[in-house]
Amino acid sequence: MGTRESGSRPRMAVWKFASCDGCQLTLLDCEDELLSLAAEVEIAYFLEASSAVGPGPYDLSLVEGSITTPEDAERIRHVRRVSKRLVTIGACATAGGIQALRDFADVKEFASVVYARPEYIATLDKSTPISANVPVDFELRGCPIDKRQLLEVITAFLACRRPVVPSHSVCVECKLRGNICVLVAHGTPCLGPVTQAGCGALCPAFNRGCYGCFGPADTTNSRALNTKLRVLGMSDPELVRVYRTFNATEEQFMRASEEDQGPEEDRA
């Protein structure tokens, strides 16, 4: 990442692929910090905010969305070429997103049911994360991403340091925040123990179980969690559904959702 030599600010670009725009909106949602951010980086390409397009190359590219079409598979290579650093923002770009549910089925069948003229649809069989297509410098999790974490990542790249984005479970955030454990005290199914922190334990703070928006934590034992979730009354099809949401094709969640699970290995 370039330093601000001779008064020039690093140039940032924000790109959209298959996604809902929620993560890009998180950047615009940085209302109080947006002016100070703009003072430090030149937001050169951000169609969600402005149709004025500054030419590349860019020092930092934030990429939202997954790759689902042949055109996008080509476009992400272009983005990589014009970007010094590439950071994915959100579950789609990092894990394939909710649209990766197509990976478990036949996308042609979906198209035939949804579209009047399915032959007009040119789409790939799978929805893949950016890292499956080009090298990625950092992956920011979440559906959507967390505003504080986004600012932290940009700030860290400005300071040429490692972002403080812990990969431990949501349980840590619950305890830091003082949330009651909804699994233990209420019997509410919760994916917190296998989900990476980052949201600030938002759902448990409102007595809801964690939905796993931030994907698997660094070390998970979903087999043990599933045993508990079954005790709480969840059926096998329900277990499949809770893991198959925004991070369905993340390896640990994929294994967690599969009926015939082998013993889970820790990441070494």
Which residues of the chain form contacts with another protein (CB under 8 A)? 33, 36-37, 39-40, 151-152, 154-156, 158-159, 161, 164, 166-169, 171-172, 175-178, 180-181, 183-187, 190, 192-194, 207, 218-221, 223-225, 227-228, 263, 266-268
Min CB(32)–another protein separation in Å: 11
Smaller CB separation from another protein, 47 or 184: 184
Min CB(94)–another protein separation in Å: 18
Min CB(51)–another protein separation in Å: 26
Smaller CB separation from another protein, 123 or 196: 196
To 10 degrees, the CA torsion angle through 159, 161, 162, 163?
Answer: -20
DSSP labels, 192-225: GGGBB--S-SHHHHTT-----TT-B-SS--HHHH
Q: Phi and psi (nearest 5°) for 196?
A: -70, 140
Min CB(41)–another protein separation in Å: 9
Is-contact 125 70, C-beta < 8 A?
no
Smaller CB separation from another protein, 126 or 230: 230
Give the separation between CA 122 and CA 107, rounded to whole angstroms: 11
**What is the sign, positive or negative, of the torsion defined by CA atoms of 228, 229, 235, 240?**
negative
Smaller CB separation from another protein, 88 or 149: 149
Min CB(57)–another protein separation in Å: 22
Helix (H, G, I), strand (E, B) or coil at 138: strand
Min CB(220)–another protein separation in Å: 8
Q: Per DSSP, what are the bridge partners of residue 89?
A: 140
Token representation of residue 240 = 């499949």
Strand order in the sheet with 42-46: 42-46, 11-16, 58-64, 83-89, 138-140
Smaller CB separation from another protein, 24 or 226: 226
Smaller CB separation from another protein, 73 or 151: 151
Min CB(111)–another protein separation in Å: 40
Q: Per DSSP, what are the bridge partners of residue 62?
A: 14, 87
Beta strand residue intervals within the chain, DSSP E = 11-16, 42-46, 58-64, 83-89, 138-140
Is-contact 63 88, C-beta < 8 A?
yes
Smaller CB separation from another protein, 67 or 229: 229
Give the separation between CA 15 and CA 56, rounded to whole angstroms: 12
